[in-house]
Amino acid sequence: MTFELLSKDPNSKARAGKLTTDHGVIETPIFMPVGTIGTVKGVHQRELKEEINPDIILGNTYHLYLRPGTEILKKAGGLHKFMNWDRNILTDSGGYQVYSLSANRKIKEIGVKFKSHIDGSTHLFTPESAVDIQREIGADIIMAFDECTPYPCDYKYAQRSMHMTHRWLDRCMTHMKSTSPLYGHQQTLFPIVQGSTYKDLRQQSAEYIANVGAEGNAIGGLSVGEPDDEMYAMTEVVNAILPEDKPRYLMGVGTPSNLLENIALGVDMFDCVMPTRNARNGMLFTSEGTINIKNKKWEDDFSPLDPAGYTWVDTEYSKAYLKHLFSVKELLGKQIATIHNLGFYLWLVREARRQIQAGTFRTWKDIMVKKLSIRL
C-alpha cells in the first residue's frame, strides 16, 4: 500500500491524498459505506459501484465470522469474490461488535471470550485470531484488535485498557508478519489509537501507535456518545502526533458535519452506519437540509427528492412518493433512501477533496456545516 499526499488546505489541516492498494486507488478524504455482513444493506453492488462510486467499503469481522463463517469465505476465495466486489475492503477487528452485541463477553489479557448474539455459542477472539480471520476474509486493510472504551470511562480504566490495546497491537503486528495473504493481494494492518477522552492518554497512545510505523493509522473510541467538541479535541491532539505521510482513519464517524470538521483536522478516512441506518428509518441528508420523510408535510410535495441530484434516485422519485413508500413500509423506500444518503456522503467527501485541492476548503466547510444543521 502506498499513500501520496497531494495537497494541503492553507487554512486548516485538511489534506487530499491518494491511497493505492492491489484493489486500486482510494482518493481521500473518503467515506467508506458499511457493508456489515457482505452487503451494503439494500444496495446492489452494481449500484454501489456505478452510482455511489466509493473506492472502498467496510465489512464487519464479527458478523462475517459468525455468518457465513470463514470456511465458506475461504472456499469462495475471500469476501471480494463472495460478494462480487472488486474494489477495496477494510474490515474492523470484530472488537467493537463483540462489546456491543455479545452477551457475557469477558475481556482478559489473552483476548475476549463472548457468546454469539445469534445462537449463544461461545467464541474467543484474540489479537492473533482477529488477524487470521481478517486474512481469511481477505480485507485489503486489516484493523488491529483493540478495546473500544465506552463514554464516559473513568481514567484508570481508560489507561489500563489503552495499555492492553497496545500490547494486543504488538501481538497483531507479530502475527501479521508471521502470516501471509491468502488470495494473491497484499494486506496491511492499521493500528488504533485509544485513550478515551483524556488528552494525555491520547497523546501517549498516538506516540505508541506512530512508533509502530504502520502504513496507515486509526483513531478509535470516539463517536461513542461524547459531545462533538470532545471528539474534535481528541482528533486534534492525536493528529498532531500521527505521521503526516500516512492516512488517518477516524473509526465510526459520523454525521456530515462531523466528517467536515474532522477533515479540517487532518482525517482522511471515515466509516459510519449513519447514512444507511438513518435512511432505513426515513432520515435523508439533502442539499437543502435534513428531512424526515415520514412527516405528513411531504405527502403532497411532488418535487424531486433532492434537486442536487447526487444519484439518479434524487430526480427519479419525488418526496411524496418516498413518503408514501415509508407510510406503507415498502422495501423500495429503504432502497431509495439508502442510495440517496450514500450518494450524499460520497458527494460530500469528493467535494471536500475538490475544495482542498482548490485551496477553498475552509470557507466552503464553514458554509456547509451551517447548511447541514437545517432541518426541513
Binding residues for substrate, as ranges, are 92-96, 146, 194, 221
Least CB distance from residue 324 to its own copies, whole Å? 5
Which of 11, 327, 357, 360 lies at the binding interface for its own copies (CB under 8 A)?
327
300 is an interface residue for its own copies by CB under 8 A: yes
Q: Quote the crossing angle between the two packed helices 361-372 and 256-264, to the nearest 10°.
A: 160
CA-based torsion, 84, 85, 90, 96: positive or negative: negative
Which of 18, 44, 113, 294 lies at the binding interface for its own copies (CB under 8 A)?
44
324 is an interface residue for its own copies by CB under 8 A: yes
Q: Which is nearer to its own copies, 193 or 325 (CB)?
A: 325
- CA-to-CA distance for 358 and 38, rounded, in angstroms? 36
Binding residues for its own copies, rule CB under 8 A, total: 39
Task: Look up residue 52 and give its DSSP letter.
Answer: I
Determine the interface stretch with its own copies among 38-46, 162-170, 258-266, 286-294 (rule: CB under 8 A): 38-46
Q: In the annotation, is 300 catalytic?
A: no
Which of 332, 362, 364, 369 lies at the binding interface for its own copies (CB under 8 A)?
332
Q: Which is nearer to its own copies, 200 or 316 (CB)?
A: 316
Task: Look up residue 89 and give its DSSP letter.
Answer: E
CA-based torsion, 258, 60, 33, 181: positive or negative: positive
Q: In the annotation, is 154 catalytic?
A: no
183 is an interface residue for its own copies by CB under 8 A: no
232 is an interface residue for its own copies by CB under 8 A: no
Contacts of the segment 62-69: beta carbons below 8 A, 24+ positions apart: 62/92, 62/94, 62/96, 62/97, 62/98, 62/101, 63/36, 63/37, 63/97, 64/37, 64/38, 64/91, 64/133, 64/137, 65/94, 65/123, 65/133, 66/116, 66/118, 67/37, 67/118, 68/38
Q: Considering only residues 336-365, where is the footprint of its own copies by CB under 8 A?
A: 336
Which of 22, 86, 316, 366 lies at the binding interface for its own copies (CB under 8 A)?
316
320 is an interface residue for its own copies by CB under 8 A: yes
Provide the grid cell at 314. 434524487
Least CB distance from residue 357 to its own copies, whole Å? 33
What is the 3-state composition of the chain as percent helix, strand, coil, each rounded to the nearest 5? 45, 20, 35
- CA-to-CA distance for 71 and 269, rounded, in angstroms? 30
Catalytic residue annotation: 92, 271
| Binding residues vs its own copies (CB under 8 A) | 37-39, 41-46, 63, 67-68, 72, 75-76, 81-84, 299-300, 302, 312-313, 316-318, 320-321, 324-325, 327-328, 330-332, 334-336
